[in-house]
Amino acid sequence: MNNISFADLNLAPEILRALTESGYTVPTPIQAQAIPLVLEGCDLMAGAQTGTGKTAAFALPMLQKLLPLATPSPSPARHPVRALILVPTRELAIQVEASVKAYAKHSHLRSLVVFGGVDIKTQTPHLRTGVEILVATPGRLLDHIEQKTVQLNQVQMLVLDEADRMLDMGFMPDLKRILALLPKQRQNLMFSATFSNEIKRLSEDFLVNPKLIEVARSNATAENVTQKVYLVGHAEKHALLAQLLRGSDAKQALVFTKTKLTASRIARQLHREGFAADAIHGDKTQLERMQALDAFKQGKITVLIATDVAARGLDIDQLPMVINYEIPSAAEDYVHRIGRTGRAGASGSAISLVAPEEEKYLFEIEKLIKCQIQRATPLPTRPVERAPQAEHHVRIRAPHTSVTKKPVHDAWFNKPYEPSASTRVVAPPPDLPSKPKSPLPALFMRRKVSPSDAED
């Protein structure tokens, strides 16, 4: 399956050219499986984690199918919305649309992204010029529908991306309203990192005879991500985090917290300790979030602290390290978090700092991913340093600064990271109990509540 090329998938020369320019040489497994089925016109239920290339898996055949309708005409009437891609968050929306645009750059197909948190009036003129492919978060799309700034009566393809997350965030009522407004005759594609019973029910509701494809085992974590847990008290977490960051050979790390407050606090504290750190969460404006993300992507920031909602959909190439400062209470969020590393075949490391009161969540996570995560030996904590800034040399820092490693007490820090086979995902035993219901939906059930409002 993996020996095939993009050309074997019957994609048009203008798409192939864009792929070459994007640096893609061979299709990923999800692309190799999904593209022929979508081109055939099948509905699809695809189990694929972030980082598997799932965006191109639906976007490429979508563009291929829409190409005959592409026109250089400036008339908006010649550019109706023909494909709708619904995603749970703004960041993912921006990212998906950027990919679509890159793949469509040599065609006359137009794409646009609309999401909440910004003035709706800024989006309307762009919608009015006409776009074939619309990427939207559900709430903002409904706003546009209410304001009659978008027509969906010519939609022939619908994609629900990260469907599991959309359900977790309480978007079901919005989705139902949107689905009711679409033409009945259409192709539906659903992508989900996890296959819960709710996802199966949703797929039964809106897919017609779907083909089922799955590139990673359901609810599995990326196999090339090495996972470790440190059992540590809350009070020691910051010192351990700083030690891990200093001792790591990783160039960058994404650190997850449960709340906006903790994210900001850690960012401030790390900053004081000499790290190029910043936080992204729902209290930051869209612009601040984009700036922090850009700085991280460019390597100007080496430690990005994020809440789950803010981090959703982040596409950061070759991120070597994810640290869970606090583990999530919804086990599936763990899968999403560590999906930020080990992308596109690269190896990654996911480290979780688990306080005694968090251990119950750890057990739920292990039940979900069907493996026990290696417990690392707790590190000797160092006394809190009050030394002047200059003494705080860090391994992880912006590329333009000099890299000097501060000696640490434990020789462990000087050793290269050694992945442990025991942390790899093992084959799932049949019929393990499904995960307990996430506490998130109750928080998110209200329509028009920005997902990021509910982070704390």
Which residues contact ligand AMP by CB under 6 A? 24, 27-28, 31, 50-56, 315, 317, 343-344
Cα separation, 367 vs 348, in Å, equals 21
Per the CB < 8 A criterion, the answer to whether 111 and 97 are in contact is yes
CB of 120 or CB of 346, closer to ligand AMP: 346
The crossing angle, in degrees rounded to 10, of helices 172-180 and 197-206 is 10
Structure tokens at 138: 């559900």
Q: What's the min distance (Å) between Cβ of 93 and ligand AMP? A: 13
Which residue shows structure tokens 């729902």?
A: 282
How many whole angstroms separate alpha carbon 210 and alpha carbon 24? 28
Amino acid at 205: D
Q: Could you give the CA distance from residue 12 to residue 63 in angstroms, rounded to a whole number? A: 9
CA distance 19 to 23: 6
Query: Of 221 and 262, which has the nearer Cβ to ligand AMP?
Result: 221
Q: Tell the smallest beta-carbon distance from residue 234 to ligand AMP (Å).
A: 33
Three-class secondary structure of residue 174 per DSSP: helix
Least distance from C-beta 48 to ligand AMP, angstroms? 7
Tokens of 163: 């469907």
The rounded distance, in Å, linking the Cα atoms of 33 and 25 is 16
- Minimum separation from the CB atom of position 336 to ligand AMP (A): 12
Residue type, 373: I
Half-sphere exposure of 311 (CA within 13 A, CB side): 32
Minimum distance from residue 53 beta carbon to ligand AMP (Å): 3
Looking up tokens 């090329």, which residue turns up?
Answer: 5
Beta strands across the sheet bearing 277-280: 277-280, 303-307, 253-257, 321-324, 348-354, 225-231, 374-375
Q: Measuring CA to CA, how many Å separate 92 from each of 32, 88, 373? A: 23, 7, 29
Question: What's the gap between Cα 44 and its chain centre?
Answer: 20
Phi, psi of 215 (to 5 degrees): -95, -30
Residue with smaller CB distance to ligand AMP, 277 or 309: 309
Q: In terms of CB distance, is 24 or 275 closer to ligand AMP?
A: 24
Q: Which residue carries 């996890």 as its tokens? A: 194
- Least Å distance, CB 339 to ligand AMP, is 9
CB of 315 to ligand AMP, least distance (A): 5
For ligand AMP, give the closer residue by CB, 56 or 199.
56
Nearest CA to 219 out of 336, 430, 369, 342 is that of: 369
Residue among 25 and 389 whose Cβ is closer to ligand AMP: 25
What is the closest distance, in whole angstroms, from the C-beta atom of residue 350 to ligand AMP in the complex?
17
Comparing CB distances to ligand AMP, the nearer of 53 and 210 is 53
Structure tokens at 430: 């049949």
Could you tell me which residues are beta bridge partners of residue 249? none
Element (H or E) spanning 338, and its range?
helix 331-338
CB of 441 to ligand AMP, least distance (A): 24
Q: Given the complex with ligand AMP, which of 261 and 290 has the nearer CB atom?
A: 290
